Amino acid sequence: MRRMIVIPFVAALLGGGLVVGLVAAFGGLDQSQQTITTVQAAPIAPSNASQRGTGMTPHEVYVRDAPGVAFVTSTIVQKSESPFNLFGGGETQRQGQATGSGIVIDSNGTILTNYHVVENAVKVTVSFEKGKSVEAQVVGKDPSNDLAVLRIRTDGLTLHPLTLGDSNGAQVGDPVYAIGNPFDLERTLTTGVISALQRQIQAPNGFTINNVLQTDAPINPGNSGGPLLDAAGRVIGINSQIATGGSGGGSVGIGFAVPINTAKAEISQLEKGGTVRGAYLGLTSLSIDGALSALNLPVKSGALVQTVQKGTAAAKAGIRPGAINSTTESGQIAVGGDIIVAIDGKTVTSSEDVATDVSAKKPGQTIKITVLRANGKGGYERKTLSATLGSRPNSVPNSNTPEG
């Protein structure tokens, strides 16, 4: 079992009893110092044919790119109810600092990082090599993709922007390098490979981040927001989360990076300020597979609609949710609702497909949703509905099924 743990201060606090947890790779208060770093010294040739001949040694990548990796410190005030107020209403405040990493993307003082690195921060500072530290302003954020853009004054600074690569070209087995500040150990280099593609992780606001890169390069709390680099030293991902084993908070060789192409698609919008909100359909669904065979559905794959939120694009399009509860291998589910089998003519095989297809769109765009709908006579009819997508809310409504 895995879960995402959103931790504003101490990233290594994990719930007891979990075999594996997902934790944001973000450092905070009371972190125990760990100094083990895996570094390979030999040059590695990428498996991607388009990148062959461009491989650099880890040392060469480090010398060139480490100056472009920032140390991000967030001052956070956490409010809680005072245990000493017998009549309620009393609040206490705890202030602390949490640390992460950032990527310099231009010479004008623009820095890319994870949203969770600066979430709820009342002050953000950025430091570079040789102890240069400046205050940063959070100018744009996208909680749904765990991205944020910072801006600093460049007076007296010589910035070293990193080259943004193409995450779509990554292949399993390609060598990668991570540079960041794990456990406050500034500008640490670790190496590994792309160990899987097309992963999904949960964003801080509960939505799903798609097309995530998985790597075995050791990343730990404090690496969040730092670059995952290809063999040519180009940024292909933003290190965001790690899987942890048992009750420990350190890397077990499974890390996740938000693909740089996701960030590139919205950097210009983030630089203009405000919050970027992705497209939103407004329904939850359940993947149809063998576990639902007892329901005798007309298809072996697709997305069975569970709920539809009032006033959303899904509701306005006329998509129907399930109305009858049934107990299956997957637990209690709602049956009788529409089955989504295609979006814009592209086959939908699971609820994850719905989330992926919707996240690729922008608010205001209209999509065609093909559904199978019970006709009340023991059969199903095929319908194509039009939905004009809205904007995502601040967080996913409470549900155990994927949100579209």
In tens digits, the chain (404 residues) has pLDDT values of: 333 333 222 232 223 333 344 556 656 433 333 333 333 334 444 545 444 446 789 999 999 999 999 999 999 877 655 555 555 555 566 778 888 999 999 999 999 999 999 998 999 999 987 677 899 999 999 999 999 999 999 988 889 999 999 999 999 999 999 999 888 788 899 999 999 998 989 898 888 888 899 999 998 888 999 999 999 999 999 999 988 766 666 667 899 999 999 999 899 989 988 888 889 999 999 999 888 888 889 999 999 999 999 999 999 999 999 987 776 665 778 999 999 999 999 999 998 889 889 988 989 999 999 999 998 888 999 999 999 999 988 877 755 455 56
Numbered ranges of CATH 2.40.10.120 in the chain: 1-46+54-82+89-276
Buried b (16+ CB within 10 A) or exposed e, 37-69: eeeeeeebebbbeebeeebbebeebbeebbbbb
Domain 1-46+54-82+89-276 coded CATH 3.40.50.720: no
Please check whether residue 119 is in contact with residue 204, taking contact to mean a CB–CB distance below 8 angstroms: yes
Lookup: tokens for 250: 């350190």
Residues annotated catalytic, as ranges: 116, 146, 224
Please check whether residue 173 is in contact with residue 47, taking contact to mean a CB–CB distance below 8 angstroms: yes
Name the helix (H) or strand (E) containing 185: none
Q: Which fold has domain 279-391?
A: Pdz3 Domain (2.30.42)
Q: Return the DSSP state at 83.
A: T
Numbered ranges of CATH 2.30.42.10 in the chain: 279-391
Could you tell me the pTM of the whole model? 0.74
Name the helix (H) or strand (E) containing 341: strand 339-343
